């Protein structure tokens, strides 16, 4: 059983492109094995794997950055004219490889993602565009005493607020890096 990585994604772009992406996500057949990732990026079905990992596992990790697809019934999606918002969980890690490929398929979109994996104590924020990305990862244990323990609802609420603040700061750093790289591309620096 994996640790689950919680992902919150916002996709920004032209209205017609967002409408197309939204239709594709809403049209995923929940009765078969297809999901969000395989709707847009297919793993290599002929991957042979290696002596340790089977082919399907290696192919999925290479294509998506995680071993399993996300079923459409496990996606919380909001679609409006400005943005598609998605919330879903992945096994062990955020789906960087998927969103890199997705941003190549849709070069006119920007994908913002925050992620948190409580079991391994990491989280962060990433911005994807045109087959590129910047990532700001955080260690959720930073600043916590070694004997720290959350035992009450109030302590849990405070811990959640601390983690949200870390993710917000990581997103601000990722956004700044994206904007700086955009300026450099625009000005040819």
Give CA–CA dist 61/24, Å, rounded: 22
113-121 mean pLDDT: 93
Q: What angle do CA 112, 119, 66 make, to 5 degrees?
A: 50
Give CA–CA dist 126/166, Å, rounded: 13
- Decide if 138 contacts 172 (C-beta within 8 A): no
111-135 mean pLDDT: 94
Tell me the two tokens of residue 163.
């983690």
Tell me the two tokens of residue 53.
């990992």
Label residue 47 by pLDDT band (50, 70, 90).
confident
Looking at the predicted structure, is the pLDDT value of residue 100 above 60?
yes
| Structure confidence at residue 189 (pLDDT) | 57
| Structure confidence at residue 112 (pLDDT) | 97
99-116 mean pLDDT: 96
Label residue 51 by pLDDT band (50, 70, 90).
confident
Could you tell me the pTM of the whole model?
0.89
134-148 mean pLDDT: 87
Name the DSSP letter for residue 180: H
């Amino acid at each position: 059983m994996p640790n689950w990585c919680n992902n919150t994604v916002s996709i920004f772009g032209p209205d017609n492109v967002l409408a197309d992406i939204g239709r594709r996500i809403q049209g995923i057949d929940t009765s078969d094995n297809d999901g969000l990732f395989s709707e847009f990026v297919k793993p290599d079905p002929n991957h042979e794997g290696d002596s340790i990992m089977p082919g399907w596992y290696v192919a999925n990790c290479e294509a998506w950055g995680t071993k399993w697809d996300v079923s459409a019934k496990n996606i919380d999606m909001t679609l409006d004219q400005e943005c598609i918002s998605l919330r879903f969980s992945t096994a062990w890690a955020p789906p960087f490889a998927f969103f890199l490929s997705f941003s190549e398929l849709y070069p006119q979109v920007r994908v913002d993602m925050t992620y948190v994996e409580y079991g391994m104590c990491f989280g962060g924020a990433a911005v994807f565009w045109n087959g590129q990305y910047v990532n700001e990862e955080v260690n959720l244990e930073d600043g916590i005493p070694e004997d720290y323990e959350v035992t009450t609802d109030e302590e849990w609420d405070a811990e959640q607020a601390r983690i949200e603040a870390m993710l917000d700061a990581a997103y601000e750093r990722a956004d700044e890096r994206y904007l700086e790289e955009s300026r450099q591309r625009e000005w040819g620096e």
